[in-house]
Amino acid sequence: MGRSCPAVHVDHRHTAGRVQSYLSFNCNSAIGLLGNFPDTVRRAAAYLEGNSWKPTLVAPGVYQLPS
């Protein structure tokens, strides 16, 4: 389990100009670095959980990359 950090930074939506929540510095930075894209965060979590994102062999010599 991850360690807990104090939520001391205000997270806001730049496009809406409103406060969303309070986060730790590390969490706020990580979300920003991941581009605020939920799918990117899900892929990062899957990687950390050991679910690799390897290409799938669909025909001899033909691989499909994960979407």
Write the pLDDT tens digit of every residue in 22-61: 888 888 888 889 887 888 888 888 878 876 667 788 999 8
Please check whether the domain covering 9-64 is classified as CATH 1.10.287.1080. Answer: no
Q: Is 9 exposed, middle or buried (0-12, 13-18, 19+ CB in 10 A)?
A: middle
Assessment of whether the complete model's pTM goes beyond 0.75: no
Domains of the chain, by residue range, sit at 9-64
Phi, psi of 56 (to 5 degrees): -105, 130
Q: d(Cα 12, Cα 32) in Å, to the nearest integer?
A: 11
